[in-house]
A and B are shown apart, each in its own frame.
Chain A
Amino acid sequence: MSRGVKDNLIAYSFIAPNFIGFALFTLVPMIFAFILAFVKWDGANPMKFIGLDNFTRLIKDSTFHKALWNTVVYTIGVVPLTMIVALALAILLNQKIMGRNFMRTVFFFPYVASLVAVAAVWNFIFSPTMGPINNILHTITGIPLEDLPRWAADKQWAMFTVVLFTVWKNMGYYMVIYLAGLQGINPELYEAAELDGAGPWRRFRNVTVPQLAPTTFFVLMILVINSFKVYDIFINLFAGADNQLNDSTRVMVYQIYNTAFRSLDYGYASAMAIVLFLLVLGITIVQFRGEKKYGQ
């Protein structure tokens, strides 16, 4: 055995345990889902091959369109807002100020707190009749309670509520990533800029932003993928006693789950999952290209 082959074997041997797990629990199910998309199957009876029927059904399915639209709206709301808030927090907490570590902990806390618990707290705060938000608004403006937004239970405001919640819950995590990025910037660059007479804004624009580009691309990618795959946040904020989402809050993953496990239509659900997969893949490719072009 030549040296190179041996080195390779050693490397593979270390990868093996992890790869076997990945193959069994991710790769095989993924391939299975691709097959399922072309059949009609209820999970128990024999499969029936139906070609592209599941996909043509998707084109006409207004319920699915709405779920896709809601997911896109949610993503457009969450991604830029989270990035702006996280970067602002990171820059503030990168200064040498009193209680810096304490404040970092405070902003990071929602990310580690249990989703179920904080969702319950939010639902109380935003409760249409009992919640402090509406009662304060009612006291300040004098608008009767029943005319104020009913937040999570309101078609017009539900998406706003969930975007706000998501940004608040996850900003700490992305703040930490940005902090790491900021600390990786060579301080000499700032010194040089200052000598050249650049003010704080110029320094931010011409040093911080370009130096942070790789971090920004990473954050953007993770955020977009996670927003497209959102499920648990919606269930915890909106699903009531019947564990259901309705028209204004239905998202893609929920629709896939419902189609597969409530309507027992595994083939159709797999077709939806593939659409979701292709969307995320497409966005990721675009972002990778962007990173190659601007991120260096």
Chain B
Amino acid sequence: MNLKRFYGMTLATALSVSMLAGCSGNNANNEAAATTAPAAGNAANASAEPSQEPVTLKWALWDWEATAYYKPLIDAYKAAHPNVTIEYVDLGSTDYMTMLSTQLSGGADLDVLTIKDIPGYSNLVKQNHLEPLKSYMSANSIDPSVYGGTVEQIEVNDEVYALPFRSDFWVVYYNKALFDKAGVEYPSNDMTFDQYDELARKMTSGSGSEKVYGAHYHTWRSAVQLFGILDGKNTVVGGNYDFLKPTYERILKEQEDGIVMDYATLKTSSTHYSGVFYNNSVAMMNMGSWFIATQIEKVKSGESQSTEWGIVKYPHPDGVEAGTTLGTITSLAVNQKSKHKEAALDFMNFVTGEEGAKVIASTGTIPAIKNDEVINSITSIDGFPTDENSKAALNTVQTYLEMPMHEKSADIEVILNEAHDNIMTKNATIDEGLKDMNKRVGELLNN
């Protein structure tokens, strides 16, 4: 008797629970859709004055905890726009662009999107996830020339889908204490590759736990391979890579002579570049300007024992002007399917504009708009090296993007990374590695 009722109830409960679970998502969506006004169809007609309606924007980003400028940016924007609430969605830094693309394809209601790298950007453009910005830019008189040529480098078919708010470039970090101890003169703001190599050899000393390496190349492709593009004659999406030979020869020779740490060891032990700089085991290290803010902070917290440090301009090939370097941009874009396009565009405009640049610079990070005010604001941060050379190192004359815009850049990246890894671990000779790049990228470009 009761058995039957018991079964009936169990079944009903089980089914209703699964129903609820299945529907809750939909309910939320329906409500959200019901309470928001229809999205503006065309961003071109968006006025420069956003409405005063309360609105919540979702901002996709990575490493919320470890990044100094997210919160100040949101706070600064909220101060001027109290009706806007900005929620962040942290997708983590590993494979961030993959996560973002997957989320957008699944229809996630993100409004403002942080763009981490060019291959990922190129993919999102192909997938039609990003709002085209040219009409908005002309309506709000945003001049692309303030971004130092980077916006032109990310144009796709005469349209722009993101604006940079950070523009990092590579410099050389050096440990003053180690140079003083060795009685060697500090690196200068104008070094050729050969001079850099010579200095690194001079600064290498000791063995075992006392060993000091003259230089350090992190396991990224960009830390080694891209010395080869600084003369402006070649790009990494051209399909022929023979021009990289001298670069690899120089770096592998340094590795063989014990001037730099062994790539295979670094890779298998997943050694982070910051650690080797903090514990005084490298005299010089080429790395992006994003490390400035981290190093300042870690000196204060005591984690970095390399308390006497400085930066100089990137080494360059013979006959190329000092201040020529590699760069990466971090940009903001707006989701084409955003329900609050106007508000999202306005927030993007703020972050990528001059006001946003001031906020970003105040945290020691290099913004995309680099005027004198911004540079001064960074160099006057407590903890920034006080010598003149370090201040001058922030002036660049030419920045080549680490990965230029190309519709197949994501696939090219994979091939170049693999071949680089094979050359650096000596699983392939330089010639074999370059041949492999030529062959596989060639096939890709001809398809």
Seen from chain A, the residues whose Cβ lies within 8 Å of a Cβ on chain B are 10, 13-14, 16-17, 20-21, 24, 42-45, 120, 123-124, 126-130, 150-155, 240-244, 246-248, 258, 261-264
Assess whether B411 is interfacial by the CB under 8 Å rule.
Answer: yes
Measured in the bound complex, the distance between the Cα atoms of B17 and A21 in whole Å is 12
A264:B268 contact, CB within 8 angstroms: no
Residues of B within 8 A of A264 (CB): 101, 123, 126-127, 410
Min distance, Cβ A33 to any Cβ of chain B, angstroms: 15
- Candidates B129, B410, B418, B427; contact of A154 at CB < 8 Å: B427
B410:A262 contact, CB within 8 angstroms: yes
A20:B18 contact, CB within 8 angstroms: yes
- Candidates B15, B128, B221, B270; contact of A45 at CB < 8 Å: B128
Assess whether B269 is interfacial by the CB under 8 Å rule.
Answer: yes
Assess whether B395 is interfacial by the CB under 8 Å rule.
Answer: no
B410:A243 contact, CB within 8 angstroms: no
Assess whether B264 is interfacial by the CB under 8 Å rule.
Answer: yes
B18:A262 contact, CB within 8 angstroms: no
Residues of A within 8 A of B126 (CB): 42, 45, 264
Report how many residues on chain B are interfacial, defined by Cβ distance under 8 Å.
Answer: 42
Min distance, Cβ B31 to any Cβ of chain A, angstroms: 23
How many residue pairs link A and B with beta carbons under 8 A? The number is: 112
Interface pick from B6-14, B33-41, B47-55, B385-393: B6-14
Give the interface SS of chain B, mostly helix, strand, loop or mixed. helix
A240:B421 contact, CB within 8 angstroms: yes
A129:B265 contact, CB within 8 angstroms: yes
Seen from chain B, the residues whose Cβ lies within 8 Å of a Cβ on chain A are 7, 10-11, 14-15, 17-18, 22, 94-95, 98, 101-102, 104-105, 123, 126-129, 218-221, 262-265, 267-270, 410-411, 414, 417-418, 421-422, 425-427
- A15 — nearest CB in chain B belongs to which residue? B14
A16:B14 contact, CB within 8 angstroms: yes
Interface centre among B218, B410, B422, B425 (most CB of A within 10 A): B425
- Candidates B94, B129, B411; contact of A243 at CB < 8 Å: B94
Residues of A within 8 A of B14 (CB): 13, 16-17
- Candidates A129, A150, A242; contact of B221 at CB < 8 Å: A242
Residues of A within 8 A of B219 (CB): 240-242
26 CB-based A-B contacts, threshold 8 Å:
A13-B7, A13-B10, A14-B10, A17-B17, A17-B18, A42-B126, A43-B101, A43-B105, A43-B127, A44-B128, A123-B268, A127-B268, A129-B264, A130-B269, A240-B219, A240-B270, A241-B218, A242-B219, A242-B220, A242-B421, A247-B418, A248-B427, A261-B95, A261-B98, A263-B410, A264-B410
- Candidates A43, A44, A246; contact of B418 at CB < 8 Å: A246
